[in-house]
Amino acid sequence: MDSETLAALMFPLLFGFVFLGIPVAFALIATAFLMALPAFGGLAALQIYGVIQHTASQFILSAVPPFVFMGVMLESSGISERLFRAMQVWLGRLPGGLSLATMGMAGIIAASTGIVGAVEIVIGVMAIPVMLRYAYNRSLIAGTICAGGSLGTMIPPSIVVVIYASVANESVGQLFAAVLIPGLIMVALFLGYILVRALIFKADAPPVPDAGAMPLVEKLKVTLTGIFPAALLIAAVLGAILLGFATPTEAASVGALGAVLLTLAYRRFSFSVLYDTLKRTLVINCMILLIVAGGNIFAGIFRLHGGNRLVADIVDFLQLPDAGVVAILLLVVFVAGFVLDWVSVVLITLPIFLPLLTALQVDPMWFAALMIVVIQTSYLTPPMAPSIFYLRSIAPPSISYGHMYRGVLPFIACQLIVLALIAAFPSFATYLPSQLVGFE
């Protein structure tokens, strides 16, 4: 069997392992090992170990653990409850106020944690009971929670972006800058949709008359203790990266320390909280980095068997214009997102795409923004949407899969609008990186 045939067989074999229920990281490693045997024989395991060693030595990945620690510690600090309370105070009286408050909180928590599933679970646990109590439409509840959770993919400091930068050998700071404006546009569209729906269908999202029933001084106190500390921490971490004052690892480490200090200030710190935070951080990091290692091994064996040449031959055969090639690559990412988690999608597809993108002279910041929006959209899109499975784990039985599927569709439309805007106006993704220079 020739090498290109072996490369072509790697994907069906991988998906077969995944559908059998084997964890993605081990499915990647097993596929790569089986396909390495024809090339290396008994030395296949040694070659795979070499890739793991190389992955472990990538400095850029050292930013992942402190970012994860910062997010988990902030979650333990009780800041999410304070944020939700502050948002309710100011937005609760508006039509759709609770959904608006939930989405606003999701944007801030996404900027605090960078962890996709954590955002959805945190906001869902707090917001679902409150919205149900005020008779919000269940589809709107489900859509708001799922879409808010998806912002963890898009809003810096997203772990997705850090992993993308490590694969593409790009500056993390510049990639954060590339997705910042699209991320803010997406939040604005989400909020706009909720407000318009609440104005048209008043019964779907009634205002809460007593939401802000407190003196102005008390409102300001709630705001200062609930929003200001998180906003200051986010501004410090992202500002240091975007302005080039610190590397991502340094900024994330300062953010982790800030999260500990915030937990102390809120009187939520204890040794049991610290132990739980360290334990959860270790589990999340092991999961992410094992998938990173598996993805690198898979991509390396795929390239060894001439996979990049195979993909280039397919593209040449199709004779598509440059825009058509980019569209096909994004479609591959979208479909892969139905089956694989976001880390695996980036690690498997991006090494294959990079030679094509370089040959076509595609702006790396522009394509990165497009690809991350597509990953976020696949995260939200039925029937295999991870966001819906996360929601199912915390939602009461009264919120059905039907509510979830109907609820996410308008937010998917908002994501597609953002995708179209980036495609039509690349400056949305390229302007900030051209102005701000981050560290590698």
What are the pLDDT digits (tens) for 6-60?
888 888 998 888 888 888 888 888 998 998 888 788 777 877 878 788 777 777 7
Most confident stretch, 121-125, 189-193, 240-244: 189-193
Q: Which residue has the tokens 């499975």?
A: 389
Mean pLDDT across 101-120: 80
Report the C-alpha gap between 233 and 263 in whole angstroms.
12
- Write down the pLDDT at residue 439: 44
Higher per-residue confidence, 249 vs 119: 249
Q: Which residue has the tokens 């979650």?
A: 75
Report the C-alpha gap between 149 and 189 in whole angstroms.
15
Mean pLDDT across 264-280: 89
- Write down the pLDDT at residue 431: 93
Which tokens go with 359?
A: 């040959």
- Write down the pLDDT at residue 213: 62
Report the C-alpha gap between 391 and 360 in whole angstroms.
40
Please report which confidence band the pLDDT of residue 322 belongs to, taking 50, 70 and 90 as the band edges: confident
Please report which confidence band the pLDDT of residue 438 belongs to, taking 50, 70 and 90 as the band edges: very low
pTM, two decimal places: 0.86
CB 407 within 8 A of CB 215: no
List Cβ neighbours of 226 (8 Å cut-off, separation of 6 or more): 79, 82, 83, 85, 86, 87
DSSP state of 247: -
User: Helices 79-91 and 116-133 sit at what angle, rounded to 10 degrees?
Assistant: 50
- Write down the pLDDT at residue 309: 81
Report the C-alpha gap between 250 and 148 in whole angstroms.
28
- Write down the pLDDT at residue 158: 82
Higher per-residue confidence, 380 vs 116: 380
Q: Is the peptide bond before 209 cis (omega within 30 degrees of 0)?
A: no
Distance of CA 246 to the CA centre of its chain: 23
Q: Which residue has the tokens 């705001």?
A: 223
What are the pLDDT digits (tens) for 147-201?
998 888 888 888 888 889 988 988 888 999 999 999 999 999 999 999 999 999 9
List Cβ neighbours of 345 (8 Å cut-off, separation of 6 or more): 333, 336, 337, 375, 378
List Cβ neighbours of 249 (8 Å cut-off, separation of 6 or more): 59, 60, 62, 63, 66
Q: Percentage of the chain with pLDDT > 70?
A: 96
Task: Provide the 3-class DSSP secondary structure of residue 2.
Answer: coil
Report the C-alpha gap between 375 and 331 in whole angstroms.
10
Helices (H), 248-363: 248-265, 271-304, 307-318, 322-339, 342-360
